Structure 1
Amino acid sequence: MSTWMVTGGAGYIGSHVVEAFRAQGIGVVVVDDLSSGHEAFVPADVPFVRTDVQDREAVAAALDEHRVQGVVHLAGFKYAGVSVTRPLHTYTQNVTGTVALLQAMADAGTTDIVFSSSAAVYGTPTVDLVTETTPTLPESPYGESKLVGEWLLRDQARALEGTSTPLRHTSLRYFNVVGSGHDHLYDTSPHNLFPLVLDALVQGRTPTVFGTDYPTPDGTCVRDYVHVADLATSHVAAARALEGGHDLAPVYNLGSGDGVSVRQIMSAVASVTGTPFTPQEAPRRPGDPARIVASGELAARDLDWQMRHTLEQMVESAWRARQAAEAATP
């Protein structure tokens, strides 16, 4: 049985990827510095290495010790808006960290990597439906750092062509990841829409909409919203394809093909939670494009990508996990 390393495996998305590997009987080891992850999200029987991916020696040692076949690289600083005011931190975490990881993989002879990229690489697209060939024009240091990560994989793979340890890779461009596949795993980001809205309701506050003057039908941002468990399933599909020697595209959009506005999200939350409210309105946040909606056709063909959850089911699962976390808090 092969083993895969999940960097950032104690985080919201990473912990779901870990569970998806385990569900298919694939061994997994987690690397996370817990800067935003939670050790409680790592199953007790999963090896956990608490270190930053920039620690090349520690990561190489873990790759070697656990005889890791490949890496799902999710560790990084993921806040587009904050990256505008913290560009050096963003590049250090996302670019320097990826360089160190690739060096550690080369040291250990680890050949496969699935990279967590982002829709932020597209900036503000001029097309209604983004595809993998849509020009990349990132508008934040975060988006730029993710695009550089893709380039690093491409260039390292070229450099290792014809060697005994070639690099097989693909990058998955995420859109808005929401919901929960397990009640004990939930999004704790201080910047993502779902936790911001649900935290406000739990605390008796009125949720806030950031930006109501976008050139969209209702003035709020339009996004792809995809369920985290569906996302995790496609990570494992990508890992298995690479391990099996199958050719994958360099990048895939994990998109829904159908946009949802922030106001629509607010309405769904009010309906599911049974808490009617009129959201407060605040100015736009920096780095937030008006609309990004992507086709997931290529990923559906190669990576078992499907939208298996409705918007209401996404909200219901997120709310259930949030309530479980609240109940577990002393």
Structure 2
Amino acid sequence: MSWMVTGGAGYIGAHVVRAFQAKGIDVVVLDDLSSGRRGFVTDGVDFVHGSILDGALLESVFARHDVRGVVHLAGFKYAGVSVQRPLHTYQQNVTGTATLLAAMEAAKVARIVFSSSAAVYGTPDVDLVTEETAKHPQSPYGESKLIGEWLLADQAVATGLAHTSLRYFNVVGSGTPEIFDPSPHNLFPLVFDALLDGRTPKVYGDDYATPDGTCVRDYIHVADLAAAHVVAAERLEAGEPVAPVYNLGSGDGVSVAEIMSAVAAVTGIDFAPENAPRRAGDPARIVASGELAARDLDWRMRHSLEDMVRSAWEARRAAG
């Protein structure tokens, strides 16, 4: 019997797969490799190249691998790009999730851990986001993730589906040098690529109402995130109570300027970031409480900011 990880060849998904392996839980990966990398999947893990939009394929995977639960990470994750590609975003994230849930129902697979996002909150007007903070997504991506949560909740009423959704904030770092974040949109890859190319990293806005004037965000280490998925899956399988949603947040924040200082210290590259104009829609601060996840999912920040930067830098350099 196995758990299926959709999107398991991606940066986050590959770490989740390794976390399951570390607990001795068999895993099968389904990924269309649109953004994932086959090389991120460890030897010995069953890999299926395919899409969550292919219901027949999903049902065959469930049958062949005796799947007992799903961790659903597959989807289109670029919030900014989703504004230009809303139909693609909804197809991948909403239609894809509905297709997956239909295949699960047909195969009597009744447990799912869903990869949601802080994007469901939009620009919150509170210092510390909780699961009850109002949801005002500001992109098709954020909207699609909120709809995904609704689909799970509705399917639970209809079929008894056991589920929980994990809302991520800024996921960084690496649990192994073999896996790096290849995103062309995330802060760490942008800064590292600039330094490796001999360019100066940019800070977008230094006049926010924050201690140093730069945006404050909630950064969490990808290995900590992965571990929470395993605990969530184990609780679902054991029939233990779980909340419908959890914020995986630090309860604290790190500014962009602090990130830049940490990068300079870890890499040994002395640089002063270039100040650029603010980007439209960037809130001054987004930080979430992880108290509920700490209570139920053994969630805690096991890695410091230096750990996050160092592990991410080592993985990026190993990638060449």
TM-score (norm 2): 0.97
Instruction: Name the counterpart of 1:184.
Output: 178
Give the SS at the match of 2:206. Answer: coil
Describe how 1:131-142 pairs up with structure 2 within 5 A: 131-142=130-141
Instruction: Report whether the alignment pairs 1:280 with 2:274.
Output: yes
Q: Tell me if structure 2 keeps the 8 A contact 1:81–1:287.
A: no
1:271-300 deviation per Cα after TM superposition (whole angstroms, max 9, x unaligned): 110101111233444554332101101101
The amino acid across from 1:170 in the alignment is T
The amino acid across from 1:242 in the alignment is L
Describe how 1:109-120 pairs up with structure 2 within 5 A: 109-120=108-119
Between the aligned partners of 2:205 and 2:95, the Cα distance in structure 1 is: 33
Between the aligned partners of 1:92 and 1:215, the Cα distance in structure 2 is: 38
Distance 1:29 1:277, change over 3 A: same
The amino acid across from 1:54 in the alignment is L
Q: CA deviation at 1:3?
A: 1.1
Between the aligned partners of 2:291 and 2:174, the Cα distance in structure 1 is: 23
Gaps of 5+ in 1: 161-165
Instruction: Report whether the alignment pairs 1:317 with 2:316.
Output: no
Instruction: Report whether the alignment pairs 1:104 with 2:98.
Output: no
Between the aligned partners of 1:238 and 1:298, the Cα distance in structure 2 is: 12
Instruction: Report whether the alignment pairs 1:228 with 2:222.
Output: yes
1:98-140 deviation per Cα after TM superposition (whole angstroms, max 9, x unaligned): 0111011111111100000001111111111111111111111
Q: Tell me if structure 2 keeps the 8 A contact 1:81–1:286.
A: no
Kindly report the root-mean-square deviation, in angstroms, between the aligned alpha carbons of the 2 structures.
Answer: 1.2
Give the SS at the match of 1:155. Answer: helix
Q: Tell me if structure 2 keeps the 8 A contact 1:5–1:70.
A: yes
Gaps of 5+ in 2: none
Q: Tell me if structure 2 keeps the 8 A contact 1:77–1:93.
A: yes
Distance 1:184 1:229, change over 3 A: same
The amino acid across from 2:116 in the alignment is S
Give the SS at the match of 2:52. Answer: coil
Deviating beyond 6 angstroms after TM superposition, the runs of 4 or more aligned structure 1 residues are none
Q: Tell me if structure 2 keeps the 8 A contact 1:140–1:287.
A: no
Instruction: Name the counterpart of 2:232.
Output: 238
For residue 248 of structure 1, the aligned residue among 238, 242, 250 is 242
Q: Tell me if structure 2 keeps the 8 A contact 1:81–1:288.
A: no
Instruction: Name the counterpart of 2:89.
Output: 90
For residue 193 of structure 2, the aligned residue among 199, 205, 216 is 199
Q: CA deviation at 1:307?
A: 0.1
TM-score (norm 1): 0.94
Instruction: Name the counterpart of 2:283.
Output: 289
The amino acid across from 2:235 in the alignment is A
The amino acid across from 2:228 in the alignment is S
Instruction: Name the counterpart of 2:254.
Output: 260
Distance 1:245 1:75, change over 3 A: same
Distance 1:204 1:29, change over 3 A: same
Q: CA deviation at 1:181?
A: 0.3
Q: CA deviation at 1:213?
A: 4.2
1:144-184 deviation per Cα after TM superposition (whole angstroms, max 9, x unaligned): 11000000000011111xxxxx3100000000000000110
Between the aligned partners of 1:284 and 1:99, the Cα distance in structure 2 is: 37
Instruction: Name the counterpart of 1:12.
Output: 11
Q: CA deviation at 1:216?
A: 2.9
The amino acid across from 1:220 in the alignment is T
1:290-320 deviation per Cα after TM superposition (whole angstroms, max 9, x unaligned): 3210110110110010100000110010011
Distance 1:199 1:101, change over 3 A: same
Instruction: Report whether the alignment pairs 1:76 with 2:70.
Output: no
Give the SS at the match of 1:169. Answer: strand
The amino acid across from 1:89 in the alignment is H
Instruction: Name the counterpart of 1:163.
Output: none
Between the aligned partners of 1:7 and 1:152, the Cα distance in structure 2 is: 17
Instruction: Name the counterpart of 2:120.
Output: 121
Of 209-218 and 131-140, more deviation after overlay is shown by 209-218
Between the aligned partners of 1:151 and 1:245, the Cα distance in structure 2 is: 21
Of 18-27 and 212-221, more deviation after overlay is shown by 212-221
